[in-house]
């Protein structure tokens, strides 16, 4: 599990390096540019989360079939690629067309509306045009993770990040014949870097022995596999969409504050995402380990791995929280280097946010591991439920009450974020301890074939909860 987890954690670190690179160079441009990312990211994530659910479904199926040694990993990988390619093109078109209407729905403060919203729109349009390249790399990482190989995606991600970090300052500020694109330059750099990663990833899948063996006819959609991917992918897509809608809801509340608060909220979230990296990597490793062990008929080993992962990530996140509490101002200040109006105010808000948010780091880490175990077992609906509890039963309502009813002001934002992960983690742990999540999709397929009295692959597979 740890051999699989560390490359996944590095991948998450490199993933955030995209965002940190953008934030650093845009912070050198202006605080308003950082604030624009705060508005843009939740809306972008709202659309790309739909495709993310189907990539997760492909990883789950490949993990369980790898554990069962069924020999169908290549076929499932091909079906996943076909579905995601179609979804990516559709979402890119939709995202480009609805950028302005989505931003218009935000109840923004007048200064925020005038200074930050137009910049967010510029960033989002470019980002959506590059959606197929973004999803292409997501597919490669998910398929390789389900197969049990996280090192190849890690190397590809490293190459992509190097390109992004080199392109960011060139395209944002302009050098020589390269035009000054400002915030659009950050989006162009990300899209070009992901295009490179997608090309390398697909070359490895098709032209080398890395990953599952995919043949040309595996790309032709087959109803029975498409239905499985959709059945598993829809709850995961819904889970991620609920997460992104909660982010949009939080952004809408934050947008009622002045630009300095908006920028501090976005900057704080970027820094929290750095602490989130080990949790995400361990959660993904747990997903694969649980899936392969359940596919191999070893549920007790899957459960033991989950408890080990929870304890390990709790220790790591406790250390990260301590650093955030002790040194918040130097950490936030690294990403606010532009000497413009609003810097001191943004720094003060961001420092407060990071110090308060540190209280949820341990809970955030354990929650991701438990959700990973549910997904690995094919219980994507269970993961959806606890994501809803975290975000829509706790975070958004608590934030609303603290901000607008209790009149806590900005403190209501910071404490509302913390409440969500604490409540969600405790609820998920209690459910996991019941043990009803254990079961294998591959076992369920075998039972279905027995009932039918045939060796044919069934049209759907049922998870055993």
The string of DSSP letters for 169-189 reads: HHHHH--TTS---THHHHHHH
* Residue 55, in any domain of the structure: yes
10-14, 28-32, 212-216, 408-412: which is most confident: 408-412
Helix (H, G, I), strand (E, B) or coil at 423: helix
Question: Helices 183-207 and 117-129, interaxial angle, to 10°?
Answer: 20
75: its two tokens? 């076929």
Q: How crowded is the C-beta side of 352, counted as CA atoms within 13 Å?
A: 16
Average pLDDT score over residue span 52-78:
74
> 268, 276 in Cβ contact below 8 A?
no
Average pLDDT score over residue span 49-69:
73
How far is it, in rounded angstroms, from Cα 446 to Cα 462? 10
* Residue 408, in any domain of the structure: yes
Task: For residue 430, count CB atoms less than 10 angstroms from its CB and return exposed for 0-12, middle for 13-18, buried for 19 or more.
Answer: exposed
How far is it, in rounded angstroms, from Cα 22 to Cα 119? 14
Residue 70: per-residue pLDDT: 61
Average pLDDT score over residue span 336-354:
79
Residue 169: per-residue pLDDT: 92
264: its two tokens? 């501090």
Question: Helices 31-68 and 361-376, interaxial angle, to 10°?
Answer: 40
What does the DSSP assignment read for 21-66?
A: HHHHHHHHH-HHHHHHHHHHHHHHHHHHHHHHHHHHHHHHHHHHHH
Residue 337: per-residue pLDDT: 63
Q: How confident is the model at residue 307 (pLDDT cuts 50, 70, 90)?
A: very high
In the chain, helix, strand, coil percent, each to 5?
85, 0, 15
* Residue 131, in any domain of the structure: yes
Residue 113: per-residue pLDDT: 84
Residue 340 has pLDDT above 70, yes or no: no
Residue 111: per-residue pLDDT: 84
Q: How confident is the model at residue 69 (pLDDT cuts 50, 70, 90)?
A: low
* Residue 286, in any domain of the structure: yes
Average pLDDT score over residue span 169-188:
90
- In angstroms, how far is CA 362 from the centroid of its own chain? 18
* Residue 330, in any domain of the structure: yes
* Residue 380, in any domain of the structure: yes
How far is it, in rounded angstroms, from Cα 129 to Cα 127? 6
Residue 244: per-residue pLDDT: 75
Residue 261: how many CB atoms within 10 A of its CB? 24
Nearest to 26 by CA among 332, 339, 337: 337
Q: How confident is the model at residue 454 (pLDDT cuts 50, 70, 90)?
A: very low
Domain that holds residue 142: 2-452
Where is pLDDT greater, at 6 or 396?
396
Q: State how far the alpha carbon of 315 is from the alpha carbons of 135, 319, 361, 425, in Å.
A: 33, 7, 10, 15
Instruction: Please identify which residue in the block is written with the tokens 């608060």.
Output: 261
Q: Which residues contact 424 (CB under 8 A, 6 or more apart)?
A: 363, 367, 386, 387, 389, 390, 391, 394
* Residue 457, in any domain of the structure: no
* Residue 463, in any domain of the structure: no
Give kind and range of the element (H or E) at residue 23: helix 2-29
Lowest mean pLDDT among 9-13, 282-286, 391-395, 397-401: 9-13
Residue 3: how many CB atoms within 10 A of its CB? 10
> Based on the structure, what is the number of domains in the chain?
1
Average pLDDT score over residue span 331-349:
76
* Ramachandran quadrant class, 107 (left: phi over 0; alpha: psi -120 to 50; beta: rest): beta
Helix (H, G, I), strand (E, B) or coil at 34: helix
Q: State how far the alpha carbon of 297 is from the alpha carbons of 69, 232, 300, 380, 441, in Å.
A: 12, 20, 9, 19, 11
Average pLDDT, the chain: 83
């Amino acid at each position: 599990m740890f051999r699989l987890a560390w490359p996944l954690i590095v991948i998450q670190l490199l993933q955030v390096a995209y965002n940190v690179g953008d934030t650093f160079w845009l912070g050198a441009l202006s605080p308003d540019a950082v604030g624009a990312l705060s508005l843009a990211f939740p809306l972008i994530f709202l659309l790309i989360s739909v495709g993310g659910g189907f990539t997760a479904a492909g990883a789950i199926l490949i993990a369980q079939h790898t554990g069962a040694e069924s020999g169908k990993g290549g076929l499932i990988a091909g079906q996943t690629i076909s579905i995601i390619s179609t979804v990516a093109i559709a979402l890119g078109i939709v995202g480009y067309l609805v950028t302005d209407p989505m931003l218009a729905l935000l109840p923004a403060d007048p200064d925020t509306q005038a200074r930050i919203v137009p910049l967010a729109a510029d960033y989002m349009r470019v980002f959506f045009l590059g959606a197929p390249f973004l999803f292409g790399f997501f597919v490669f990482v998910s398929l390789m993770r389900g197969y049990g190989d996280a090192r190849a995606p890690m190397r590809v991600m490293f190459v992509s990040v190097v390109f992004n970090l080199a392109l960011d300052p060139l395209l944002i500020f302009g050098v020589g014949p390269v035009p000054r694109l400002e915030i659009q330059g950050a989006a162009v750099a990300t899209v070009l870097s992901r295009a490179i990663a997608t090309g390398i990833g697909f070359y490895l899948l098709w032209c080398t022995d890395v990953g599952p063996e995919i043949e040309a006819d595996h790309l032709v959609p087959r109803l029975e596999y498409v239905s499985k991917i959709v059945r598993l992918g829809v709850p995961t897509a819904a889970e991620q969409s609920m997460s992104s809608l909660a982010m949009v809801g939080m952004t809408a509340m934050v947008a009622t504050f002045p630009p300095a608060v908006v920028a501090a909220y976005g900057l704080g979230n970027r820094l929290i995402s750095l602490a989130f990296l080990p949790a995400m990597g361990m959660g993904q490793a747990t997903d694969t380990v649980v899936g392969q062990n359940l596919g191999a008929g070893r549920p007790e080993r899957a459960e033991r791995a989950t408890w080990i992962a929870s304890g390990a990530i709790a220790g790591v996140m406790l250390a990260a929280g301590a650093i955030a509490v002790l040194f918040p101002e130097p950490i936030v200040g690294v990403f606010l280097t532009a000497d413009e109006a609003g810097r001191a105010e943004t720094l003060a808000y961001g420092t407060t946010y990071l110090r308060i948010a540190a209280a949820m780091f341990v809970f955030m880490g354990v929650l991701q591991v438990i959700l990973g175990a549910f997904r690995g077992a094919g219980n994507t609906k269970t993961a959806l439920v606890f994501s809803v509890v975290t975000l829509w039963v706790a975070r958004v309502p608590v934030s609303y009450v603290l901000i607008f009813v209790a009149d806590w002001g900005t403190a209501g934002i910071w404490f509302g974020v913390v409440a969500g992960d604490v409540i969600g983690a405790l609820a998920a742990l209690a459910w996991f301890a019941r043990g009803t999540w254990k079961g294998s999709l591959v076992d369920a397929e075998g039972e279905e074939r027995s009932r039918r009295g045939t060796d044919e692959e069934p049209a759907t597979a049922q998870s055993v909860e």
